[in-house]
A and B are shown apart, each in its own frame.
Chain A
Amino acid sequence: MTTTATGDRDHPRGASGATTTTPDPSLRPAPDPAIEVQQLRCSYGDFEAVRGIELRAAPGELLAVLGTNGAGKTTTLEVLQGRRPADAGHIRVLGLDPARQRRALAARAGVVLQESALPDELTPAEFLLLWQQMAGGGTLTHRPVDEQLARVDLTHRRDVRIGRLSGGERRRLDLAIALSADPELLFLDEPTAGLDPESRADTWTLIRQLLHTGTTVVLTTHYLEEADALADRLAIMHEGQIEVAGTLPDVLAARDARIRFTLDNDTTLPNERLIGQATVTRQRDRQHVEVRTPDLADDLRSLLAWSQAGGTDLQRLHASEPTLAEVFHDVRTTTNTPEVTR
């Protein structure tokens, strides 16, 4: 199954509750998609890690690529960054072919690797200076080192050997390196792994600021709340394929809400429509009922009316909209999930 993750970003953000505004179109570098992937395939020997996926992200969007371990996320990112050739597929990143125009892409894209690739013996200031001399053959315009360090709150660790930095500080230094030349596109491979909650919140704020200036971000993460809070678009990968893709509201709208309650064993279940979607687990003198419904408000209203009319006691009543965690769980447990293409 292949799906497409694309669209605008004018929708409320998820768990954070924050609302984004559309960046000034004049700030956007190009009208073309920042990322366009069609039928991407990539193998390690006989093992096909990525199996014909399609992705698309507009400039200024944050595309979150989620997935189980070994789903193919990092391989996909490596292909997009030009670090690995694709076996097949059409790939354009900022209008460039990453495999053939790697250096041109490197000048316009920043990368936070999954692993913190830093030498223990150098200091943050020394490494940032070295990066400035290396990136784009030393031809790019970079922010001053002290400004880069201040941006990620590492000024006080400027001249400390990297080997003595904490995991969170190393991660923040990774981010400073990626942002060094104010890239149009930012690849973040699990950027907040190992960060404490405060540092994670600071990183989210920084990412939001980047999005407001029109930077396109591709994020992979295992923290669903991170995708929930930041992503304009989601793509959930499993076993080399994209199983779910779309905006967060689109993805959630394709899932049923849940109503859970407990009844006495001698109670007959409510109307046929609800019963038809219900899963009942009997336990001694009780029956636990879980109902999946596409129309939570309507069915909950019906259920409450039935309960009130018959004087039935709905014990432990719990109603919930679908969550990203449930969608992710569904993808893990079954590949037969609904497709969302908008």
Chain B
Amino acid sequence: MTSAIALARAELRILARDRVAAFNVVVVPLFAAIYLVTNPPPAEEIPGPLAAAGAAVLLAVFTSVALVLKSVMVLVQRREQHLLERWRISGTAPAAILAGTLLPGVLLLAGGIAVMFAALAIALDQAPVQPFWLVLAVVLATALGGTAATFTAAYARTTESASVVALPIFAALLGGGIWATLVPLGEVTWRMRGTGGGALTELVRIGWEGPTDATGFVAAASAAGPSLLVLLTLTGALGVAGTCTFRWSPRAQRGGWSRRSSQRES
């Protein structure tokens, strides 16, 4: 845990010293939020479900671009720099290395999406009815995005190829997310949820426009069940796949850190 936090702080410092990257992940969302708040669209043009859909699309965009794409690039870059090898030599656990490397991206996603959700609520004067499901959606988005990035990074040899390799995940999260906004909340299908983005969208919409009566939370939990199941399954599957395929050095084959399941580290 100490190692992961130390590494995350160093990654944050590296990010802060890269002016272009820092501008993209911090300043751009802030400007977008400020613009949204200061230039709200006419309320009559934005019905409640559409506001929820907007929030869902925002989460899909942040997850696919700010988290997955950025994380794949960071992992591939650290591998090209042989830093991942360096951390492995330190004796730090693989999970701690990945967590520390990806944590800044995750925090920035969470921070950025929180700012955008707040701006959306202020601009439209429509607060989400069940914020718990929004928070859960963001948490699951970071978990899904992190494992997806780890899995994808094994297939990208260079940072230049990272965006191409990440395209299927990008398309599933963003495309699926938009797809699930095109139908009423109760009509989101398993196929839509299966993209990952669709499941996240459903959770966001439940949080924003979900049931408001006394049994609201129970009803929302019931409605969210399928999406939760899909997201947990996808995250677990990508986590296992990432464990099996991850490459720590540029010349290594895809073998992960459990190439021999019998070899347990002590």
A194 part of interface (Cβ distance < 8 Å): no
Q: Given A103-B91, A117-B86, A134-B7, do A83 and B248 touch, yes or no (CB 8 Å)? A: yes
Chain B residues within an 8 Å CB radius of A296? none
B88 within 8 A of A: yes
Per the 8 Å Cβ criterion, residues 102-131 of A in contact with B are 102-107, 111, 113, 115-119, 121-122, 126, 130-131
Count A interface residues, CB 8 Å: 34
Q: In the complex, what residues of A have CB within 8 A of residue B45's CB?
A: none
Is A84 an interface residue when CB atoms closer than 8 A count as contact? yes
Contact A119 B2 (CB under 8 A): no
The reply to whether B13 and A121 form a contact with Cβ atoms under 8 Å apart is yes
- Kindly list chain B residues whose C-beta atoms are within 8 Å of the C-beta of A117: 81-83, 85-86
Instruction: Give chain B residues whose Cβ lies under 8 Å from the Cβ of A161.
Output: 17
Quick check: is B24 within 8 A (CB to CB) of the other chain? Answer: no
Specify the main secondary structure of chain B where it touches its partner: loop
With known contacts A100-B266, A106-B90, A113-B86, A122–B10 Cβ distance under 8 A: yes
Please determine whether B2 and A138 come into contact, CB atoms closer than 8 angstroms. yes
10 contacts between A and B (CB under 8 A): A85-B260, A85-B263, A103-B93, A104-B91, A105-B91, A115-B82, A118-B81, A119-B83, A133-B2, A134-B6
- Bound-state CA distance A118–B265 (Å) is 25
Q: Are B89 and A121 in contact, with the CB atoms below 8 A?
A: no
8 tightest Cβ-Cβ pairs between the two chains A and B: A106-B91, A117-B82, A133-B6, A103-B91, A117-B86, A121-B17, A134-B90, A121-B14
Contact: B3 with A137, CB < 8 Å? Answer: yes
Number of contacts between A and B (CB, 8 Å)?
A: 88
Instruction: Pick from B18, B85, B92: contact of A83, CB below 8 A.
Output: B85
Contact A101 B6 (CB under 8 A): no
Contacts of B87 in A (CB 8 A): 134
Q: Are B91 and A85 in contact (CB under 8 A)?
A: no
Asked if A45 is at the interface (CB within 8 A of a chain B CB), the reply is yes
Contacts of B3 in A (CB 8 A): 133-134, 137-138
Is residue A99 contacting chain B, with contact meaning CB distance below 8 A? yes
A171 to chain B, nearest CB (A): 13
CB distance from B154 to the nearest CB of A (A): 15
| Contact present for A44 and B253 (CB under 8 Å) | yes
In the complex, what distance in Å separates the CA atom of A122 from the CA atom of B14?
7
